[in-house]
Amino acid sequence: MIIEKYNTFIGHPIDRIESVIGKSENAKYIQGYLRELRATFCIEEKNYVDKEFLIDYSMFYARSFEDINKYTTRLHFFKTDITETKIFEIMENFNKKDYREAELKKLNDNYLGFVVVKPVSGSDKQPLLGRMLLKPYPHEDRDELREHLKQIYPVSLYGLPLTIESLPFQMQDQSVGACATTSCWVSLYALNNLFGTSIHALAEITETSTTFPGLNRNFPSSGLSVFQIKNFYNSLGLETEFLDINPKIIAQYGEKYPVIPILVKAYVDFGLPILACINLHKNLIQTPPDYEQHAAIISGYRHKNGEVKELYAHDDRIGPYSKIEPASTDPKKLFIDWKCGWLNKKYDEENNKTFSNVRVESLIIPIYPKLRLKFMDIYVIFRQVIKDANNLDPNMSYQLILKEINGYKLFLLERKFPDKKKILMRRFPKYLWIIRVSSNNTVVNDKIFDATCNYQTGDTFEDIYFN
């Protein structure tokens, strides 16, 4: 296999990417997503060295009999056409500061991210899509807002420094890891941002997880169990919070502030990924139930005045930012059953049968060990505050917030409240759970709890009433 030493500029309209990314369901999803982002143009970077794939290559593909290339193709997407002449012009004039800054700003404003295409195929004989950093859906959507786990990543296109704000994603590559491995991989980027934990490739995650043994093969991966997922996070020095989404228990906490949306808001706003373990039911009424198990990362949500309308998942069998609506509008069951891309997927091609229901079985949240006060502990207190304050005013709303102290003190600095200096000078724990009471979008009270304690007793850590 001869690899060209020098690349030539390859740029083309977005509708021609099928020849590179193929016709898999994943590729079709990416094409659709790029259309929603209004992508029009693509630059193709041949023989790109992708560290993630290189590690998977060294741990698995290198020992395959088949002749597999270790280089990938990287596709960069833009909202406008970029010519070879323009790229060369920027390269030539890069030493002129004003010109450089203006041109890079234009490039960055139109940059939507990239997708790495691996030189290996899935069982459908279509190329596997590797690491991708694509811009999320816009923050604003008419009178609603979207919140996503994301951070800014530098990208080099022929040396030109670009940036993209995203949460990395890749499609399933079953040789080195199934859905739970990919979910762990996605979560690592958010965790690295929060706690400085290390990043690992798919094969490394599978290898570490399976030191807790399962009955199936480790490689090619047959999927991880909950214990293996926990084992992986523990190996990073993290704890995990596990919630059994038993509809009977969860339904006790229905009405206006149900468990799943409150949990998603609290953890996603903090920057924590939520690993959703879901059951894909073939027939919901059958006993015993016939279902497959799948895992995905809840990476964002859309809300109207704090009320969650839609979730977004990085799902390795569907795509990044895949939309999830609640299957039932019953507030007691909100987001326990999902209306999402899985309902269109066939589990039996021959008989044309699709999954009939998607149900959240449990949630796993990898957390820093010092975050000791469990979500359900504080959630019950949150419910109690709402219940006790029920008749105070019809315009009140409540939020459960997880916050790191430095960020919270910045919030306090901008506000007026009694004993402001005394409270700002007080020693606080590193992490706080806050029950925030607002009225007509004005924050009136923060009830603060020490998130680093085992359980909350007696009074709140601090109780601030804003002027």
Report the DSSP pairing between strands 111-121 and 357-367: unpaired
Task: Say whether residue 298 binds other proteins (CB under 8 A).
Answer: no
Radius of gyration of the chain (CA): 24
Looking at the Cβ atoms of 62 and 249, the one nearer to other proteins is 249
Site for other proteins in 313-332 (CB under 8 A): 317
Q: Which residues pair with 432 in a beta bridge?
A: 403, 450
Task: Say whether residue 353 binds other proteins (CB under 8 A).
Answer: no
Task: Say whether residue 88 binds other proteins (CB under 8 A).
Answer: no
State how far the alpha carbon of 138 is from the alpha carbons of 47, 60, 95, 145, in Å. 32, 38, 33, 8
Task: Say whether residue 124 binds other proteins (CB under 8 A).
Answer: no
Looking at the Cβ atoms of 76 and 383, the one nearer to other proteins is 383
Looking at the Cβ atoms of 171 and 280, the one nearer to other proteins is 280
- Distance from C-alpha of 140 to C-alpha of 132, rounded to nearest angstrom: 23
Please measure the distance between the N-terminal and C-terminal CA atoms of the chain and give it in whole angstroms: 71
Task: Say whether residue 243 binds other proteins (CB under 8 A).
Answer: yes
Looking at the Cβ atoms of 226 and 343, the one nearer to other proteins is 226
Looking at the Cβ atoms of 411 and 465, the one nearer to other proteins is 465
Q: Which of 168, 200, 113 is nearest to 316 (CA)?
A: 168
- Distance from C-alpha of 365 to C-alpha of 313, rounded to nearest angstrom: 14
* Cβ atoms of 343 and 355 closer than 8 Å: yes
Site for other proteins in 179-198 (CB under 8 A): 179-180
Task: Say whether residue 206 binds other proteins (CB under 8 A).
Answer: no
CB of 271 to other proteins, least distance (A): 23
Residue from 121, 198, 283, 384 touching other proteins (CB under 8 A): that is 384
Task: Say whether residue 358 binds other proteins (CB under 8 A).
Answer: no
Residue from 226, 343, 412, 453 touching other proteins (CB under 8 A): that is 226
CB of 376 to other proteins, least distance (A): 4
CB of 210 to other proteins, least distance (A): 10
Site for other proteins in 257-296 (CB under 8 A): 277, 280, 292-295
Task: Say whether residue 372 binds other proteins (CB under 8 A).
Answer: no
Task: Say whether residue 389 binds other proteins (CB under 8 A).
Answer: yes
Report the DSSP pairing between strands 396-404 and 431-439: antiparallel
CB of 449 to other proteins, least distance (A): 9
DSSP states of 242-297: EEE--HHHHGGG-TTS-HHHHHHHHHHHHT--EEEEEEEEEETT-SS-EEEEEEEE
Angle at 199 between CA 370 and CA 122, to 5 degrees: 130
Q: At what angle do helices 202-209 and 51-59 cross, to 10 degrees?
A: 50
* Cβ atoms of 451 and 371 closer than 8 Å: yes
- Distance from C-alpha of 236 to C-alpha of 430, rounded to nearest angstrom: 20
Residue from 116, 178, 358, 400 touching other proteins (CB under 8 A): that is 178
CB of 442 to other proteins, least distance (A): 7
What's phi and psi for 115, nearest 5 deg?
-130, 130
Residues that bind other proteins (CB under 8 A): 178-180, 214, 216, 222-228, 242-246, 249, 277, 280, 292-295, 317, 361-362, 374, 376-381, 384-385, 388-389, 392-393, 396, 437, 439-440, 442, 444-445, 447, 455-460, 463, 465
